[in-house]
Amino acid sequence: MKTSSTLDATDIKILKVLQDNSRLTVKELAQAIHLSPTPTFERVKRLEREGYITKYMAVLDAEKLDCGFLAFCYLKMKQHTHENAIRIMEAVKTIPEIAECYNISGDYDFLLKIYTRDMKSYQKFLLRILGELDCIGSLNSSFVLGEVKNTHEIPLPEERE
């Protein structure tokens, strides 16, 4: 895969505009970056093919979907074995309440971002879902009181300098 140093200024503009609104038509995107539609389309396809663009998605409102209780759960394995790590990673992929999972360093092994309806639902989730994984040694939960910033945007090369 190419590195960001091979991206030119037009590629960066495309990525910036699409991060803000991925629903733009090729014509609208072309207008936004001051390029004609055909080369814009070809560039977007190349960026997808090369893995710079991995997915297009809609961001949903968790509150309106009755899933507005957000918790971050730090999870520690019972024993640090390859098998336990694989079991946890495979299990979290199948659990819909877990929106994100990261293998982390420090006092805990994994960080989970979990959406449920309310505290009671979260308690049931811990006991019935995570509690069934006997490879988990301990966990620690933090509950979101208010959202300050929530973005899926990646800082692009021009923004990091």
CATH of the domain at 29: 1.10.10.10
Give the pLDDT score at 130: 95
Tally of structural domains, the chain: 2
DSSP-derived secondary structure for 12-78:
HHHHHHHHH-TT--HHHHHHHHTS-HHHHHHHHHHHHHTTS-----PPP-TTTTT--EEEEEEEEES
Q: Are residues 98 and 36 in the same domain?
A: no
Cα–Cα distance measured from residue 134 to residue 83, given in angstroms and rounded to the nearest whole number: 12
Give the pLDDT score at 56: 95
Q: Are residues 30 and 87 in the same domain?
A: no
CATH of the domain at 117: 3.30.70.920
Mean pLDDT by 10 residues, the chain (161 residues): 70 96 97 97 97 94 97 97 96 97 97 98 96 95 96 82 52
Q: Are residues 97 and 135 in the same domain?
A: yes
> Other CB atoms closer than 10 Å to residue 59's CB: what's the count?
8
In a domain, 160, yes or no: no
Domain containing 94 equals 69-143
Give the pLDDT score at 90: 97
In a domain, 1, yes or no: no
Q: Are residues 48 and 78 in the same domain?
A: no
